């Protein structure tokens, strides 16, 4: 800080992640409706659209060949094979917004969050957990988007995914959507007020700047 003038901070990368079916998408939608001044980064995927999903709004739906070409060109900040389909985060959108001082929200799987953490440890990583595995199973069946085989595959990964909690900054249990969303907002407000982010944003480079 110089001459008593508050420096302009760089944007903060907020990453929400957790087991499949925990309600990350619903939480993300609830959060964005609260007008908290954050840009949502739309992910790319090779899985087919589910009913009601719109290209460019929910995901960028790509063929496997196109996705792999973008991987080779370095166009993804992170990418992973999750339950037989590829998912990735477009690089340029995230970097451009962070440099402008705009906060960015990623809603991604645990594999993707691990990659982001290695590249950008200054990000804020929030683990979304269900109350218990029984409730997770109920939600997966209720949403009616997956086959029995797919649900069993997701549930079999539950213990391994929960073991990743130790690598996150915050835990939010999604027992009620409204309450969980309030906790996410509180985390974001607190992180924006961190003095170290103001100092770091002014004086230091991040891994993305190099």
pLDDT confidence bin for 207, thresholds 50/70/90: very low
Mean pLDDT over 105-113 rounds to 91
CATH class of 13-41+101-209: alpha beta
The rounded radius of gyration (Å) of the Cα atoms in the chain is 18
Annotated binding site: 18-25
- Read off the pTM: 0.81
pLDDT beyond 80 at 202:
no
The contacts of residue 179 (CB under 8 Å, 6+ apart) are none
- Residue 78 backbone phi and psi in degrees, to 5: -155, 155
> What are the structural domain ranges in the chain?
13-41+101-209
Four-residue CA torsion sign, 131, 24, 100, 76: positive
**pLDDT number for residue 8:** 75
Annotated binding site for ATP: 18-25
Each residue's pLDDT tens digit, 139-197: 888 877 767 887 888 888 888 889 999 999 999 999 999 999 999 999 999 999 988 87
Cβ atoms of residues 125 and 117 within 8 Å = yes
pLDDT confidence bin for 208, thresholds 50/70/90: very low
**pLDDT number for residue 204:** 46
């Amino acid at each position: 800080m110089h001459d008593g003038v508050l420096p302009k901070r760089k944007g903060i990368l907020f990453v929400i992640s957790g087991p499949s079916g925990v309600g990350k998408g619903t939480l993300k939608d609830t959060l964005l409706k609260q007008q908290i001044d954050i840009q949502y980064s739309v992910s790319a995927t090779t899985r087919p659209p589910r009913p009601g999903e719109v290209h460019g709004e929910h995901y960028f739906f790509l063929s496997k060949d196109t996705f792999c070409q973008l991987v080779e060109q370095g166009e993804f900040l992170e990418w992973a094979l999750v339950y037989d389909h590829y998912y990735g985060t477009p690089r340029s959108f995230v970097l451009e917004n962070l440099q402008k001082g705009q906060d960015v929200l990623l809603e991604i799987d645990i594999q993707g969050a691990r990659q982001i953490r290695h590249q950008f440890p200054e990000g804020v990583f929030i683990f979304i957990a269900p109350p218990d595995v029984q409730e997770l199973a109920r939600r997966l069946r209720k949403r009616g988007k997956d086959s029995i085989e797919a649900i069993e595959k997701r549930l079999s990964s539950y213990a391994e995914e929960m073991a990743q909690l130790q690598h996150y900054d915050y835990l939010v249990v999604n027992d009620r959507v409204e309450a969980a969303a309030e906790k996410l907002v509180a985390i974001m407000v607190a992180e924006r007020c961190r003095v170290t982010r103001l100092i770091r944003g002014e004086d230091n480079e991040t891994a993305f700047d190099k």
